[in-house]
Amino acid sequence: MYSKYSMNKKVQLFDLGVVDYKEVWDTQEKLFKEILDLKIKNRRQGTEIETPNYFLYVEHPHVYTLGKSGDMENLLLNEKQLAEKGATFYKINRGGDITYHGPGQIVGYPILDLENFFTDIHKYLRLLEEAIILTMAEYGLSATRSEGETGVWLGVGTPFARKICAMGVRASRWVTMHGFAFNVNANLGYFDNIIPCGIKGKGVTSLNVELGVEEVNEAEVKEKVVKHFSSLFDAEISKGANLPLV
């Protein structure tokens, strides 16, 4: 009879640098499937092999992605205009609507077996948001959630409400993929080409804009986010040596 394997709260951290969106998406899918296959094997064979957890940091060249419940009308560019902007476009299998990824944006993809932590997707999203909120607080900024709108915001309840971090995830059998996109030194002009997350009448912002500086140290921001992620998830983070991309 299957008995639950011991909870593995170790998370391998990989910083992949600047990589094409599709290449990292395929890599996520590979890791996601490997964890799922191991869980299925554990259940079928009664084994207790620990499932791994990953956290991928990456920065993408200009790309727009549309979630499975998204509306194509929220992309305001045609194929020719996308090429002129040097951007690509993908329909993907996460939740949420349309978003943008590009230089100056920290993208985090936690690929976790939530059975190693807790089995609650709502809690998972709220803790991801909290990691960003706590990071913002270290820069003296009061970020928060906006009811019914996943992600991290500034100026909620005012005419100047603006999103600084978008989130969209996929989960199956408590295994997660996709994650968050935190604007740190982002070119906000690229958001003019979409209706971000399908939300009209609200803006987007970036950490450097909010701080009134030309550039924020992205490595420092990454360290702060991981620190808070580790604390909130009670996770043990270790840097992975090498992750072959698909």
Q: Which positions are annotated as active-site residues?
A: 197
Q: What whole-number distance in Å separates Cα of residue 138 and Cα of residue 127?
A: 17
Per the rule left: phi > 0, alpha: psi between -120 and 50, beta: everything else, 89 is: beta
3-state class (DSSP) for residue 85? coil
Q: Which of 232, 11, 53, 57 is nearest to 127 (CA)?
A: 232
Rounded to the nearest angstrom, the gap between the alpha carbon of residue 139 and the centroid of all alpha carbons in its chain is 20
Supply the DSSP string of 103-137, one letter for each residue: TTEEEEEEE-BGGGT-S-HHHHHHHHHHHHHHHHH
Q: What whole-number distance in Å separates Cα of residue 182 and Cα of residue 195?
A: 17
